[in-house]
Structure 1
Amino acid sequence: MEKQGVITLINGPVVTARGMREFAMHEMVYVGDLRLMGEIIRIDEDEATIQVYEDTQGLKVAEPVFGRGEPLSIALGPGLLGNIFDGVGRPLGAVYEKGGIFIPRGIKVPQIDPDKLWELEPAVKIGDVATPGTVVATVKETPLVVHKIMVPPAVEGEFTFVLPKGTYKADVVVAKVRDNRGQEIEITMVQRWPVRVPRPCREHLTPKEPLITGQRVIDGFFPIAKGGVAAIPGGFGTGKTVTQHQLAKWSEATVVVYIGCGERGNEMTEVLEEFPELEDPRSGRPLMERTILVANTSNMPVAAREASIYTGITLAEYYRDMGYDVAVMADSTSRWAEALREISGRMEEIPAEEGFPAYLPSRLAEFYERAGRVVTLNGDMGSVTIIGAVSPPGGDFTEPVTRHTKRFVRCFWALDKSLANARHFPAINWVDSYSEYVGEVEDWFSLNVDSGWGALRNRAKELLAEDERIQQVVRLVGEDVLPDGERLITFTAYLIKNGYLQQGAFGPDSYSPPSKGFAILSLIMYFYDKALALVKQGVPFSLLRSGDVVTNLVHLKELSAEELEVQLPKIRQDLDTFLEKTGSERLAARGR
């Protein structure tokens, strides 16, 4: 007999029901005659509190509540890549086909297309040992990604049946495993997993390899490791969404999961229109062939916004378990925290700072802790890298979401409103930002880019910090009173800011490999060292900055990596020639 309760109170997305003694905490339920999706979030004897993932308008007291017998779960299998889901894992394409342009309340659609055929290639045979994570078969999910059908966690034994090579639907039994108790367990292409439960792995590893993003300010100054966590905080108009688009397009991740959590509808529309048209830069194929979008805009039910983060991270962990590097873009965690605040308020919980619930830090920690570089259950290595955007009101980095996020991330890319207003993008402030992964990834950069990467980065950052100090003096008394040595510092800082850190989101410079960034920065610092030696000999700085070869240093970024590599020796030679000629002429004139 189906478990059933009765609605006693409706408060927006929060519903209270009676007769719920047999229900479990976090169990999914169908609410009301329309059977709206909901989740039990509190149980008090016979009474339960339910957050409803759909609009509760028109719901009435005394309508029934039915149990589903499982927590909030999603189907994991081939067909996820290239798809667009809502916050609770319903594919929006299937929703549109069944219910039209607006999502009808109570609509039920399969998360994995049951009619699509897949070319199956078995990877085991009858009699093989089955352990958690064993790859049973493979499916070419897209031209860019091979989907691995794995033995679910907690299942082990011996294969008694393996489906031969052929074309099948996703619900077909791929293999059967006889466990230690003699029971036969069927394995299909699709497995379900509760989104609030992290998927298991064999071992967590130290992140040592950088996630190359193609953005010089990140790869060169504030790198993130594969399996790392980063936050992009910034006020309205500072470029959070565009920066995440760049990272989604260019980062060296096999799979990208983009979570639009509570963003404005027009921004999410841009994502939904733009991503299918983007080209994967490494293969020339459509980027959507290795991307999953989770779309939950600000006008969608607030409870579904809270769930969307967990839906996205579970999808990422699933592909991590196949041995892939996955990048998760969460835009934005502030809207997710606001959903927590609204639900908490309707549950009449005692609020903490700025109305957020007292458990906000622990929920943020639970989310970011699901990142990591791991040894999977089948012995492969995979990673989940989380990059979360934060939208502090008025750009105030001391507000609770930003402040607590800083406790759990090791990479902080602070977006600056003044840089954005000056059209300097990415508007990542080089003073307020930091990365704690530098020491762990330095060996990789030394081996794959240049052994002097760490020293060059440190020198450039020190020069920018010195420039920041000098600019305070300039704002008080003007630049004319500066000695030539300090004017050289401010000019070199200008070259670094505009010739190295600034990077357009479109055109040939939208992706810059680490080798190109290192070449640009090393040439700028080479100019600084040569010019400083001449300034110390009494050569006026005004003469040293006047040559075309010097002013053109700011335009090196417009060259492709290949063009820069070819032209670099000549540029360096021209720079030497100009500085030596200018210095010798000035010193000779002084001698006369």
Structure 2
Amino acid sequence: MEPTGIIYGVNGPVVYIKENLDFKMGEMVYIGKERLVGEVIGLTKDIITIQVFEDTTGLKPGELVYSTGSALSVTLAPGIIGNIFDGIQRPLNVIANSSGAFIPPGISVSPLNMKKEWDVHITVKAGDKVWGGTIIAEVPETASIIHKCMVPPHISGIVTNVLQDGAYTIDTPIITIKNEQDEELPLSLLQKWPIRIPRPVNKRFSAEQPLLTGQRILDTLFPIAKGGTAAIPGGFGTGKTMTQHQLAKWSNADIILYIGCGERGNEMTNVLEEFSQLTDPKSGNLLLERTVLIANTSNMPVAAREASIYTGITLAEYYRDMGYHVAIMADSTSRWAEALRELSGRLEEMPAEEGFPAYLASRLAAFYERAGFMQNINGTEGSVSIIGAVSPQGGDFSEPVTQNTKRFVRCFWALDKALAYARHFPAINWLNSYSDYIFDLTPWYTQNVGTSFINCRNQILSILSQENKLNEIVKLIGSDVLPDDQKLILEIARVIRLGFVQQNAFHKEDTYVPMNKQLKMMEIILYLYEKCKQLIALNMPMALLREDRIFERIVSIKYDVANNELNKFDLYKNQIDEFYNRLITTNA
């Protein structure tokens, strides 16, 4: 590798070079004696601008910059699942074993284990025509995931030589193909892809299937589709990270990709410890065996934080190309935006609102646009769903990151500080949240859950909305002056909030709730509401209805009825009928 540039100036993570300007935009370079990793982000006639993904302390003008000739890319091969990387795909476990708790400048570590031999089953034979995306081998990457190694995009030809099934390293050529130019191309289990370029697809599908999470307020009231996008904005302590943990544990995605972007190190430690001990409810294996973690904590260089979400989305697209459904938890995009702001400041760009760069919106749009339910170039179908946490300062949803994110996502789960302080979790405010996917997903719910599902869901939201309006009156004049039919709305809304919307992540029957139970819970609450309305219409006072404690028994259904004991709902319906008949008989 020959030096191709000399450092002219250093400004934090930004480096300028002036001589030997033989560089390309987006090219990865090595900087200085310690070979720090950087990327070309600006080219002019006289000066090249590079952002450095490592600490530049000690770097000085006159040191050399080395060209690699290639863009900043990720290595794609078996060994990704269960690993933990930094923002530019350096394996933190390997670095910790060799260098301790902190990443030394310029450390050169292979992203994946190049010496490990994998059990490879080759799926093509000599004479087969292959093209980009064709699956050439299958490798049991973990007990939960079969890794399907593919021909890199934009390569095609006829297979001329194939190795037998056996144990091979990821860089061993397992097949050879001859392209249209009669060139012999050896293909291994490994390929590389630039992180800032989306991987190609054949077709994008509309939203037709929900990403089921087992969380009632999400699945029923504000669902997200497979291949969809959602934002979880909330102030400090409102439960963004814990909500994403629940989604990672319980969503019906095949693979979870968790990006800790600028978050505190102890949060990533908790994720690691928890995921390494949790059992995957889908397969019975460890949850970590279908999880990839990218940790770029708040004390790591900001430029690598900016790259981390692109590294994560590229890994997700790679597994989508295999036909898997991948869910990305990006925690948090606000820290990523702050990294953009710092780099923009170093580059002396004109700031926009609150100091963020003018291109913040376009960067957010480009990131969320890479989600989707796709037909891949090999004919398989897969999806990438993005759930991004947003951390507005002081919980102010009018700040630029929240507002710009809101423009590009179709699902908005607004966390509420008052609910969190009241120990109501998930602390998602049902008045400020919305989902545009409900209309697309209505046919799926009608066919797979029940014809009454959407109607029940709309009634539940209507009652909660009416409660909010009545609470405004109660604040002024108290609840005693309300007529009994409005008191009933407040009581049923309380049952909905405590018995349906609120969910206990530490209770074995309540941490995950299947869709058929969610529908049954809505139906029994609304059945109670209808019976009570009939009693109120017969001039029975609300105080008399409360004496039976039927409302408390309906609230406790979420704990008392197991997920596999849905026949018990008939018993609760009978209790409501007995309650109704008893009051009718007693007060006839």
Please state which band the TM-score falls in when normalised by the shorter chain: over 0.9
Q: Partners in 2 of 1:547 and 1:408 — Cα distance?
A: 49
**SS at 2:488 equivalent:** helix
- Counterpart amino acid of 1:90? R
Q: Tell me which residue corresponds to 1:261.
A: 261
- Counterpart amino acid of 2:570? P
Q: Is the 8 A contact 1:20 1:47 kept in 2?
A: no
- Counterpart amino acid of 1:551? E
**5+ residue gaps, structure 1:** none
Question: Where do 1:332-351 residues align within 5 Å?
Answer: 332-351=332-351
Say if 2:187 is the partner of 1:199: no
Say if 2:497 is the partner of 1:497: yes
Q: Is the 8 A contact 2:514 2:563 kept in 1?
A: no
Q: Partners in 2 of 1:524 and 1:286 — Cα distance?
A: 37
- Counterpart amino acid of 1:504? N
Q: Is the 8 A contact 1:20 1:48 kept in 2?
A: no
Q: Partners in 2 of 1:97 and 1:192 — Cα distance?
A: 25
Q: Tell me which residue corresponds to 2:302.
A: 302
Q: Tell me which residue corresponds to 1:487.
A: 487
Q: Is the 8 A contact 2:134 2:150 kept in 1?
A: yes
Q: Partners in 2 of 1:251 and 1:132 — Cα distance?
A: 30
Deviations 1:44-95 (A, max 9, x none): 1131111100001111111111111111101001000000000000011111
- Counterpart amino acid of 2:380? D
Q: Tell me which residue corresponds to 1:522.
A: 523
- Counterpart amino acid of 1:119? D
Q: Tell me which residue corresponds to 1:125.
A: 125
Q: Partners in 2 of 1:60 and 1:120 — Cα distance?
A: 48
Q: Partners in 2 of 1:561 and 1:399 — Cα distance?
A: 43
Q: Partners in 1 of 2:376 and 2:312 — Cα distance?
A: 19
What is the number of equivalent residue pairs in this alignment?
587
Q: Is the 8 A contact 1:131 1:157 kept in 2?
A: yes
Deviates most, 133-142 or 544-553? 544-553
Q: Partners in 1 of 2:188 and 2:385 — Cα distance?
A: 28
Q: Is the 8 A contact 1:23 1:67 kept in 2?
A: yes
Q: Tell me which residue corresponds to 1:353.
A: 353
Deviations 1:135-178 (A, max 9, x none): 10100001111000101100111111122111111111121111
Say if 2:178 is the partner of 1:178: yes
Q: Partners in 2 of 1:317 and 1:160 — Cα distance?
A: 29
Deviations 1:208-229 (A, max 9, x none): 0000001000001000000000
- Counterpart amino acid of 1:387? I
Q: Is the 8 A contact 1:99 1:107 kept in 2?
A: no
- Counterpart amino acid of 2:526? M
- Counterpart amino acid of 1:527? L
Deviates most, 88-97 or 407-416? 88-97
Question: Where do 1:433-444 residues align within 5 Å?
Answer: 433-444=433-444
The offset of 1:20, in angstroms, is: 4.4
Q: Is the 8 A contact 1:74 1:311 kept in 2?
A: yes
Q: Partners in 1 of 2:184 and 2:526 — Cα distance?
A: 67
Q: Partners in 2 of 1:395 and 1:562 — Cα distance?
A: 36
Q: Is the 8 A contact 1:177 1:186 kept in 2?
A: yes
Q: Tell me which residue corresponds to 1:231.
A: 231
Q: Tell me which residue corresponds to 1:153.
A: 153
Q: Partners in 2 of 1:406 and 1:20 — Cα distance?
A: 44
Q: Tell me which residue corresponds to 1:549.
A: 550
Deviations 1:510-544 (A, max 9, x none): 11111111111111111001110111121112222
Deviations 1:175-203 (A, max 9, x none): 11111111111211010100000000111
Q: Tell me which residue corresponds to 1:536.
A: 537
Question: Where do 1:569-584 residues align within 5 Å?
Answer: 569-584=570-585
- Counterpart amino acid of 2:566? E
Q: Partners in 2 of 1:179 and 1:243 — Cα distance?
A: 49
Q: Partners in 2 of 1:583 and 1:263 — Cα distance?
A: 59
Deviations 1:424-448 (A, max 9, x none): 0000000000000001111111111
The offset of 1:564, in angstroms, is: 4.3
Q: Partners in 2 of 1:341 and 1:583 — Cα distance?
A: 67
- Counterpart amino acid of 1:17? I
Could you tell me the percent identity over the aligned residues?
Answer: 53
The offset of 1:578, in angstroms, is: 0.8
Say if 2:445 is the partner of 1:406: no
The offset of 1:506, in angstroms, is: 1.4
Say if 2:580 is the partner of 1:585: no
Q: Partners in 2 of 1:157 and 1:126 — Cα distance?
A: 11
Q: Tell me which residue corresponds to 1:285.
A: 285
Q: Tell me which residue corresponds to 2:458.
A: 458
Deviations 1:270-315 (A, max 9, x none): 1122111111012221000000000000000010000000000000
Q: Is the 8 A contact 2:561 2:568 kept in 1?
A: no
**SS at 1:103 equivalent:** coil
Q: Partners in 1 of 2:145 and 2:542 — Cα distance?
A: 55
Q: Is the 8 A contact 2:3 2:64 kept in 1?
A: no
Q: Partners in 1 of 2:436 and 2:357 — Cα distance?
A: 29
Q: Partners in 2 of 1:544 and 1:177 — Cα distance?
A: 78
Q: Tell me which residue corresponds to 1:241.
A: 241
**SS at 1:212 equivalent:** coil
**SS at 2:577 equivalent:** helix
Q: Partners in 1 of 2:174 and 2:208 — Cα distance?
A: 37
Q: Partners in 1 of 2:331 and 2:267 — Cα distance?
A: 10
**SS at 1:104 equivalent:** coil
The offset of 1:380, in angstroms, is: 0.7
**5+ residue gaps, structure 2:** none
Q: Tell me which residue corresponds to 2:210.
A: 210
Deviates most, 269-278 or 334-343? 269-278
Deviates most, 348-357 or 512-521? 512-521
The offset of 1:566, in angstroms, is: 2.6
**SS at 1:202 equivalent:** strand
Deviations 1:433-470 (A, max 9, x none): 00000011111111111111111111110111111000
Q: Is the 8 A contact 2:513 2:563 kept in 1?
A: no
Q: Tell me which residue corresponds to 1:470.
A: 470
The offset of 1:98, in angstroms, is: 2.4
Q: Partners in 1 of 2:547 and 2:75 — Cα distance?
A: 64
Say if 2:421 is the partner of 1:421: yes
**SS at 1:133 equivalent:** coil
**SS at 1:479 equivalent:** coil
Say if 2:12 is the partner of 1:12: yes
Q: Is the 8 A contact 1:556 1:564 kept in 2?
A: no
Taking structure 1 as the reference length, what is the TM-score of the superposition?
A: 0.98
Q: Partners in 2 of 1:171 and 1:304 — Cα distance?
A: 26
The offset of 1:109, in angstroms, is: 0.7
Q: Partners in 1 of 2:378 and 2:268 — Cα distance?
A: 37
The offset of 1:560, in angstroms, is: 5.0
Deviations 1:235-269 (A, max 9, x none): 00000000000000100000000000000112122
Say if 2:424 is the partner of 1:430: no
Q: Partners in 2 of 1:35 and 1:27 — Cα distance?
A: 15
Deviates most, 505-514 or 460-469? 505-514
